[in-house]
Amino acid sequence: MLTFTETDQGGRAHIEGPMTIHNAMNLKSQFMGALSASQHLELNLAAVTEIDAAGLQLLIMAKQHQIHIQHELNLINHSETVLAAFEMMGLVSWFNDPVIITRQ
Amino acid sequence: MDEIEQVLGLYISESRELLDEMELLLLNLENEQDQAESLNAIFRAAHTIKGSAGIFLLDDVVHFTHGVESLLDKMRDGKIASNSELTSLLLDCKDHISLLLDNVEHKTVLADHDFLNGKALLQTLIIVVKQGGTDGPKEPPNDNTQLVPTQDVERENSPKVLSDNWHISVRYHPDSFRFGMDPLAILRYLTTLGDIESITTLFPSLPSASEMDPETCYLGYEINFNSQANKLDIEGAFDFIRDDSQVHIIPPSSRISDFITLIESLPEQDIQLGEILVQSGSLTPNELEFALSLQRQLKSQSIEVPLGTLVVNNGLTQQPVLESAIAKQNQIRDVKTKEIQSVRVDAEKLDQLINLVGELVIAGASSSLHAHRSGDRVLIESFSMLTRLVEEVRDAALQLRMVQIGATFTRFQRVVRDVAKELGKDIELVITGAETELDKTVVEKISDPLMHLVRNSMDHGIETPDVRMDNQKCAKGKITLNAYHDSGMIVIEVSDDGAGLNYEKILKKAQQKGLVLEGETLDVQEVNNLIFEPGFSTADSVTNLSGRGVGMDVVKRNITDLRGTVEVQSTFGHGAMFSIRLPLTLAIIDGFLVEIEKSSFVIPLNMVLECVQLSEGNSDIDPNTQQSYINLRGEVLPIIRLRSLFNLGGRVPKRENVIVISCLGSKVGLVVDKLVGEYHTFIKPLGNIFIHIQGISGSTVIGSGEVALILDVPNLVQKILTTESAKALYSQTERMNVQ
């Protein structure tokens, strides 16, 4: 479930609950609305309870899309499961967002 | 989680098939000339079960199966010779795996004693593997990475890479998510085998945001993997996706040419991929350059060599890996062609279809009746065409439920082996006619009675080896299971070359029990069939297999419930043969339709002997009881008046008819008002409320739309026989009291 609010600095969004293949369809359409709305989008991942490869793929899509249309996307407050998945797939540096590194 | 559940279900059913296959191979192992092939197949089965279990994170299964696999691996390499002890151990292990899978399926936890049993088995496996390892010829273990050939370095113009890590390259099939696969879960499993040193996730085919389908998988990865596991184990992690996705696994210290193959087979640009390989640490920059230049050389020469030969010639791939890969490919191909030829259908759907066809037959019959009444010739003609088609559809629908009896028969291989061992006898099971088909529901229900007969033959029939030797027989006993079709019935025979039935003993016992009266003369056949009487056993000692006297009558009842018959033929000293005759299907009945007081009844046609008219002169009618006797050509025939049995009331017509039926070895007459004729119909089971009604086994709808009840003839006859013998007993004691 993605909630989007516009602020002076740009858009803010946060995702609550799972990001898996089961809700990927819904999430994508919600993403598309939020992505084009603002020059600078901050996506809060603190409340993501579960993420699988389909969820990761959505984040990749979002990031690539923003780069493509020259908007900015920052992921913040990665929840533990998100971070673990990022590390597992070697995506931390690709997203290039500041994260709290717990391993390595 | 539905997809996962589904895939898990698929995994469990596939594993069960593999386990069955494993069991069969194990049982035949001892008789096999060339064991290598069988051992390979057994190993592959265990390995597939383990590999897939890993993906579902079924740690128990992985752990246990790994132990089994280690032993099989040694056996396959000839380091441990197979013997019957090991076979028994492996069979027990197979049972345990099956138990573990049951628990996975029902989401239950293993019972305590099963858990301990599993632990003990695993312990034994470890000990056997260890001892075998010390006894066997010294050879470096095959599953170690050091075995990657080192001796051909000079000969090979493609140098080896420096890295001591594995390189794994995966491109997922676009439908992977839809198949319930989560690339993350596979990575997680991989981490249980070793450390992921470096991973690059790739998504070159990811389209622009608007076109991207979130349920399609666009991912792939390149992994530099540090592990002591063998190639089969690592491949195991990808077993479930290997068919559709692209998976390349390159062992440590492979040759650069291997990486060239990899680079060539992947969709990304050569340079880009090369860089990833360098970044991940699998290749050094120099190696990459060398690889790319070598690749250009090879391209210009363009020699076409099948990949498999190239790989082996270069000594790159470990032989077992290649063999198993080829076998796996063949297996997949076989399965695929099978899939084309047959479709798995839910049994319930099939039952529904049969039911609908049943309704169609009934509705068709009723329409055709109306057509006949209308007298319109064109209508009648078109309906007769329709009826023919409906009949064809009915036959085709019933054909769908037919399965071969072979699978049921093969299950007995194990039973015979285990029981023979327990009894200290040497028994061989011979199966013929395994391809004979019969209805699935019949197959399920016949399994128990068959089990009883087979056990009985082993326990009572086959003698111990020394007794057999004394009787000039081969020490090895033989039990034969045979099946064939005979005039719309299936005949299943269980025969043995054992001692046969003891006529004297049976007769004596029967007289003791009052089943046969003193002075009554019976032929051999009749005496032999006495063993099906309730509470009859001639066994001198009660073993835990049979001999308690519950058994043969249960067998007989079960078979009678299926509208079948069972008989025994025996020659004393030379063996016995039990033949079971069953209708091919339970859903359809060839019946004889009769009427009493406007109610219709169907009597199974195969039991009807003849019909006679009941004239007042030839019966000895007692209006107070349901039964009486008639004189049928000088023979006494007990009759049952269905009118009074079912309390139908009404007036007895002037002319009544008697249908003479033969069942359970005796003849009985059923008195009815009117004979309608032969009738093919579908049986509809009675609802639960009517389950206790005696004498009725089902219902059907006849052409006029009325319900006709199907008589449970065996039950009726049984009833009349027990009252008869009770009466006989009563009069006997009366007489004794008088004396």
Instruction: Give SS3 for B192.
Output: coil
Q: Give the per-residue pLDDT at B480.
A: 92
How much is the average pLDDT of B313-331? 50
Q: Of B74-78, B304-308, B508-512, give the lowest mean pLDDT range.
A: B304-308
- Sheet with B666-672: list strands edge to edge: B608-614, B656-663, B666-672, B635-641, B627-632, B619-620
B 184-203 residues inside an 8 A Cβ radius of A? 184-185, 187-188, 191, 196, 198-201, 203
Residues of B in contact with A21 (CB under 8 A): 3, 177, 182, 215
Which one, of A5, A1, A27, A4, lies nearest residue A15 by Cα?
A1
Q: How confident is the model at residue B208 (pLDDT cuts 50, 70, 90)?
A: confident
Question: Residue B701 pairs with which residues in a beta bridge?
Answer: B707
Helix (H) or strand (E) holding B609: strand B608-614
| Min Cα–Cα distance to chain B from A100, Å | 19
Closest among B515, B389, B492 to B443, alpha carbons compared: B492
Contact B219 A57 (CB under 8 A): yes
Give the pLDDT of residue B295: 63
Which residue has better confidence, B479 or B140? B479
Q: What is the pLDDT confidence band of residue B110, given thresholds at 50, 70 and 90?
A: confident
Torsion-angle region of residue B570: left (phi > 0), alpha (psi -120 to 50) or beta? beta
Question: Residue B611: which of B588, B589, B583, B639 has the closest Cα?
Answer: B639
Residues comprising chain B, all counted: 739
pLDDT at B385 over 80: yes
* pLDDT value, residue B482: 92
pLDDT surpassing 60 at residue B99: yes
Q: How far apart are CA B681 and CA B41, in angstroms?
A: 48
Q: Report d(CA B500, CA B548) in Å as an integer.
A: 18
Tokens of B575: 């063996």
A-chain residue closest to B196, CA distance: A88
Q: CB A25 to CB B214 under 8 A? A: yes
Residue B148, min C-alpha distance to chain A (Å): 29
A55-64, B119-128, B154-163, B718-727 — most confident range: A55-64
Beta strand extents in B127-284 (DSSP E only): 166-171, 195-202, 220-226, 246-250
Segment B19-69, tens digit of pLDDT: 888 888 888 877 777 777 888 888 888 888 888 887 777 888 888 888 888
Q: Greater confidence, B300 or B690?
A: B690
A58 to chain B: closest CA residue: B214
Of B562, B612, B605, B596, which Cα lies nearest the Cα of B708?
A: B596
Q: Mean pLDDT in chain B? A: 76
Give the DSSP H/E element, type plus range, for residue B601: strand B599-604
Using the beta-carbon criterion (under 8 Å), do A35 and B221 form an inter-chain contact?
A: no
Q: Answer whether residue B613 shows pLDDT above 80.
A: yes
Give pLDDT, residue B493. Answer: 92
pLDDT (average), residues A87-104: 73
ipTM of the complex: 0.88
Cβ contacts of A60 on chain B, cutoff 8 Å: 203, 206
Cβ-Cβ contacts under 8 Å for B120 (sequence gap 6 or more): none
How is residue B322 written in tokens?
């290649």
In 10 A of CB B118, how many CB atoms?
22
Average pLDDT over residues B72-101: 85
Q: Which residues contact B273 (CB under 8 A, 6 or more apart)?
A: B222, B262, B263, B266
Report the interhelical angle of A24-37 vs A53-68 (nearest 10°): 20
| H/E segment holding residue B325 | helix B319-341
* Amino acid found at A16: E
Residue-wise pLDDT for B262-292, tens only, equals 776 666 666 666 667 776 666 676 666 766 6
**Contact between chains at B214 and A28 (C-beta distance less than 8 A):** yes
Residue B525 pLDDT > 70: yes
- pLDDT for B48 equals 84
Chain-chain contact of A32 with B209 (C-beta, under 8 angstroms): yes
Under the banding of pLDDT at 50, 70 and 90, the label for residue B309 is very low
B541: pLDDT strictly greater than 70 = no
Structure-block tokens of residue B530: 């006495």
Among all chains, which residue has been given the structure tokens 């996506």?
A: A43
At B185-195, the pLDDT tens digits run 888 888 888 88
- The per-type count for chain A, helices as H runs and strands as E runs, is 4, 4
End-to-end CA distance of chain B: 81
Q: Using CB atoms, which residue from B177, B191, B208 is nearest to A21? A: B177
Q: Does B173 touch chain A (CB under 8 A)?
A: no
Q: Helices (DSSP H) in B401-497: which residue ranges?
A: 406-423, 440-456, 465-470
pLDDT tens per residue across span B642-695: 888 888 877 777 788 889 988 766 788 888 888 888 777 777 777 777 767 777
Say if the Cβ atoms of B199 and A90 lie within 8 Å.
yes
* Residue B213 to residue B233: CA distance in whole angstroms: 33
Taking only the tens place, the pLDDT of each residue in A7-45 is 767 788 888 888 888 888 888 888 887 877 777 888 888
The answer on pLDDT for B321 being more than 60 is no
When comparing pLDDT for B204 and B144, which is higher? B204
Q: What percent of chain B has pLDDT over 90?
A: 1
Report the alpha-carbon distance of residue B447 to residue B443 in Å, rounded: 6
Per the document, the length of chain A is 104
Residue B210 scores a pLDDT above 60: yes
Tell me: pLDDT of B548 over 50: no
Query: What does each C-alpha distance from B309 to B299, B306, B314, B677 come to in angstroms?
Result: 18, 6, 8, 73
- Residue whose C-alpha is closest to residue B492's, from B566, B413, B569, B393: B566
The answer to whether the Cβ–Cβ distance between B215 and A64 falls below 8 Å is no
Average pLDDT over residues B633-638: 83
